[in-house]
């Protein structure tokens, strides 16, 4: 049985097991209408702040280069120095603005009078740069007009950009495009107290999207602090899978340890930040245990994997390497497709329904390896050694994993990632006719990130037929390890080791 140490600091060590996930449920009409309102993507303040740093770095760099070309001219022997100064000055300017809290959302959306922070930070940057040039290169004559124009132009363009961004932010705030969307888990006085505290924070970016609670209306009112109760915890899981929600905040008292843990067992499979409300708790933990919304403390329990910039970095990684792989392997694609077509009748590409990110169903592409009339798009019967449904070419491409190559196009579509837990079929079963979700508790926890064409479990030898429960258990444990320890370097290592791991074909039929 899969185990995990809970990060909930109620005891020194609290070990909980993961039960089988909730079966899909139908949302009530009220919750379904609410879910439809939160299907659109949103921009988190952290994401916006990072993007704007990049925008201002590019703006200051281009401004410095444009002034150099227009006034100094590229014929000077110091042209390389001016290029370097433009890059270094822009980077230092962004750093100085950051140190002045110029990228805090309260400043970005605040009054125009706060632009003095930007002017001072940019001015100090160029003063520092000028002093550095004097001491390091006092024999070189750099244009004072260029430096002065860069300062004035920088202040003007940064101010114009921020005024435009300020108007955009306020529009996003009005229509709900920039926020952290939160669901309150648990009603009653605890939820009401938390909601009042969050609403009292002047710079809160939390938007409460509803309340879910298993208790009846007598113990948990249908409306708390103006927010409706949308359903029970089973409906919450379905709601979170239909919408773009960022965070769950559990408002149950920490003294109700068993009930809190019971909730976390059901909610941990969701790719969301999960927090415990601590603003009214008498217990006090180490400061690093908490995150804050304004002055409201929350206890961090689970963090969403691949949030914000991590997600963007992984997506760019996928697009670059998948595109490169398709180009380099195009001869292999053509030869494999030709072999499949000549070997047996039927389509070359086979589509199979598999579980994707957050348990959504995706169509995964494969080269067909079974006879067309025996194809099994729902994988109700696992392929075993000597399976008569497999074609002659199919045996070879399955053993070498060439049948998986079309999944590179799934990566470009955004259904899969290059690296991640392998996407198992919707009705995947073991050789003993047991469903995967029945073999491993918390099985859907591996869907908190996009599934991958290859993965940590695969390069460690856990691929192929599941003829023993321990094999699926090991695959699951390796998938969780990957999710918890993800980095671009780990993805690169897995990609590099994948061709070597394919030499071990003992379990692939």
Q: Which of these, 300, 277, 302, 318, lies nearest to 445 by C-alpha position?
A: 302
pLDDT score of 20: 41
At residue 22, the pLDDT reads: 44
Residue 278 has pLDDT above 50, yes or no: yes
Q: CA 357, CA 483: separation in Å to the nearest integer?
A: 12
**Mean pLDDT value of segment 436-453:** 74
**Cβ-count burial of 416 within 10 angstroms (0-12 exposed, 13-18 middle, 19+ buried)?**
buried
Using CA atoms, how far apart are residues 304 and 265, in angstroms rounded to an integer? 15
Give the Cα-Cα-Cα angle 85, 91, 92 (nearest 5 degrees).
Answer: 85
Separation CA 211–CA 229 (nearest Å): 5
429 by DSSP, 3-state: which?
strand
Residue-level length of the chain: 509
Distance CA 373, CA 196 (A): 62
Return the residue matching tokens 């860069």: 150
The pairing of beta strand 206-212 with beta strand 180-185: parallel
C-alpha–C-alpha distance, residues 384 and 306, integer Å? 35
pLDDT value of position 16: 37
**How many helices (H) and strands (E) would you count in the chain?**
17, 14
Distance from C-alpha of 311 to C-alpha of 357, rounded to nearest angstrom: 13
| Between 462 and 400, the higher pLDDT residue | 400
Q: Which two tokens stand for residue 19?
A: 């039960």
Q: In this model, does residue 299 exceed pLDDT 80?
A: yes
pLDDT at 11 over 60: no
CA angle in degrees (0–180, nearest 5) for 309-311-313: 65
Q: Of 87, 112, 240, whose CA–CA distance to 167 is shortest?
A: 112
% the chain with pLDDT above 70: 83
pLDDT tens-digit readout, 16-75: 343 344 455 778 888 888 888 787 766 777 788 888 999 999 999 999 999 988 887 777
Q: How far apart are CA 52 and CA 169, in angstroms?
A: 12
363 pLDDT exceeds 80?
yes
Q: Say what the pLDDT of residue 60 is.
A: 95
Is residue 224 helix, strand or coil?
A: strand
Chain centroid to Cα 296, Å, comes to 25
pLDDT at residue 196, as a whole number: 87
Residue-wise pLDDT for 108-141, tens only, equals 887 777 788 899 999 999 998 888 777 766 555 6
- DSSP per residue over 284-295, as a string? ---GGGEEEETT
The span from the CA of 480 to the CA of 369, in Å, is 30
The DSSP bridge pattern shows strands 247-250 and 180-185 to be parallel
Q: Highest-confidence range of 35-49, 398-412, 451-465, by mean pLDDT?
A: 398-412
Architecture of the domain made up of 3-41+179-302: 3-Layer(aba) Sandwich (3.40)
Range(s) of the chain covered by CATH 3.40.50.20: 3-41+179-302
Nearest to 276 by CA among 186, 215, 212: 186
Confidence band, pLDDT 50/70/90 cuts, at residue 490: very high
The answer to whether residues 249 and 298 touch, using CB atoms and an 8 Å cutoff, is yes
Q: What is the pLDDT of residue 504?
A: 63
The predicted structure's pLDDT at residue 8: 38
Please identify which residue in the block is written with the tokens 């559990």. 250
**How many other C-beta atoms can be found within 10 angstroms of the C-beta atom of residue 470?**
11
- Per-residue pLDDT at 505 exceeds 80: no
| Helix, strand, or coil (residue 49) | helix
Helix 257-267 / helix 233-242 crossing angle, nearest 10 deg: 30
Provide the pLDDT for residue 137.
Answer: 61
| Rg, Å, the chain Cα set | 28
Token code pair at residue 290: 């908490």
Q: 421: number of CA atoms within 13 Å, CB side?
A: 31
**What residue has token string 């071990």?**
504
Q: Which residue has the higher pLDDT, 44 or 239?
A: 239
pLDDT of 158 > 90? The answer is yes
Four-CA torsion 188, 194, 199, 205, nearest 10 degrees: -120
Give burial (CB, 10 Å; 0-12/13-18/19+) of 11. exposed
Using H for helix, E for strand and C for coil, what is the string for 59-76? HHHHHHHHHHHHHHCCCC
Mean pLDDT over all residues of the chain?
Answer: 80
**Between 438 and 364, whose confidence is greater?**
364
Which residues lie below 8 Å from residue 65, measured CB to CB, with a gap of 6+?
82, 83, 86
- pLDDT of 59 reads 95
- The rounded Cα 302 to chain-centroid distance in angstroms is 14
Q: Identify the CA nearest to 353 among candidates 365, 367, 371.
A: 365
Can you tell me whether residue 372 is helix, strand or coil?
Answer: helix
Lowest-pLDDT choice from 130-144, 162-176, 302-316, 471-485: 130-144
- How far is it, in rounded angstroms, from Cα 165 to Cα 434? 55
70-113 residue pLDDT tens: 887 777 777 788 888 899 999 999 999 999 888 888 788 877 77
Place of tokens 């792989």: 325
**Distance in angstroms (rounded) separating the CA atoms of residues 428 and 436:** 6
Write phi, then psi, for 199 (nearest 5 degrees).
-70, -20
* Phi, psi dihedral angles at 431 (to 5 degrees): -65, -25
- Does residue 408 have a pLDDT over 90? yes
For 306, how many CA atoms within 13 A lie in the half-sphere containing its CB? 24
């Amino acid at each position: 049985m899969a185990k995990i140490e809970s990060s909930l600091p109620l005891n020194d060590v609290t070990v909980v097991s993961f039960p089988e996930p909730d079966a899909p449920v139908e949302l009530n009409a009220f919750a379904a209408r609410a879910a439809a309102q939160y299907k659109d993507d949103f921009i988190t303040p952290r994401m916006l702040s990072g993007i704007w740093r990049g925008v201002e770095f590019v703006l200051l760099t281009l401004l410095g280069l444009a002034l150099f070309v227009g006034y100094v001219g590229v014929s000077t022997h110091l042209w390389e120095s001016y290029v370097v100064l433009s890059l270094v000055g822009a980077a230092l300017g962004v750093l100085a603005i950051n140190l002045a809290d110029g990228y805090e959302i309260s400043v970005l959306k605040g009054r125009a009078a706060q632009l003095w922070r930007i002017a001072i930070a940019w001015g100090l940057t160029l003063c520092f740069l000028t002093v550095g040039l004097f001491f390091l290169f006092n024999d070189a004559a750099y244009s004072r007009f260029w430096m002065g124009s860069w300062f004035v132009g920088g202040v003007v363009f940064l101010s114009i950009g921020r005024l435009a961004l300020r108007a955009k932010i306020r529009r996003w705030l009005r229509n709900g495009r920039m926020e952290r969307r939160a669901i309150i888990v648990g009603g009653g006085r605890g939820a009401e107290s938390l909601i009042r505290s969050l609403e009292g924070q002047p710079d809160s970016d939390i938007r409460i999207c509803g309340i879910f609670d298993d208790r009846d209306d007598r113990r948990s009112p249908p409306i708390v602090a103006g927010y409706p109760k949308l359903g029970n915890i089973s409906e919450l899981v379905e709601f979170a899978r239909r919408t773009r929600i960022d965070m769950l905040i559990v408002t149950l008292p920490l003294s109700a340890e068993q009930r809190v843990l019971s909730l976390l067992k059901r909610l941990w499979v969701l790719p969301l930040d999960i927090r415990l409300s601590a603003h009214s708790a008498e217990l006090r933990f180490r400061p690093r245990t908490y995150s804050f919304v304004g002055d409201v403390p929350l206890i961090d329990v689970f963090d969403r994997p691949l949030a914000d910039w991590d997600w963007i970095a992984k997506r760019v990684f996928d697009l670059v390497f998948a595109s490169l792989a398709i180009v380099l392997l195009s001869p292999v694609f053509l030869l494999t497709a030709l072999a499949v077509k000549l070997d047996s009748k039927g389509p070359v590409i086979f589509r199979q329904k598999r579980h994707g990110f957050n348990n959504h169903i995706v169509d995964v592409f494969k080269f067909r390896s079974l006879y067309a009339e025996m194809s099994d798009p729902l994988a109700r019967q696992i392929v075993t050694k000597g399976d008569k449904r497999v074609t002659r070419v199919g045996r070879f491409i399955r053993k070498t994993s060439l049948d998986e190559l079309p999944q590179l196009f799934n990566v470009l579509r955004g259904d899969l990632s290059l690296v991640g837990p392998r996407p198992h079929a919707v009705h995947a079963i073991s050789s003993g006719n047991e469903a995967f979700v029945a073999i491993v508790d918390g099985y859907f926890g591996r869907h908190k990130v996009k599934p991958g064409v290859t993965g940590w479990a695969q390069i460690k030898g856990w691929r192929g037929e599941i003829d023993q429960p321990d094999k699926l258990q090991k695959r699951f444990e390796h998938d969780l390890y990957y999710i918890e320890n993800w980095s671009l370097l780990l993805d690169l290592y897995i990609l590099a080791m994948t061709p070597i791991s394919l030499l071990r074909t003992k379990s692939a039929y």
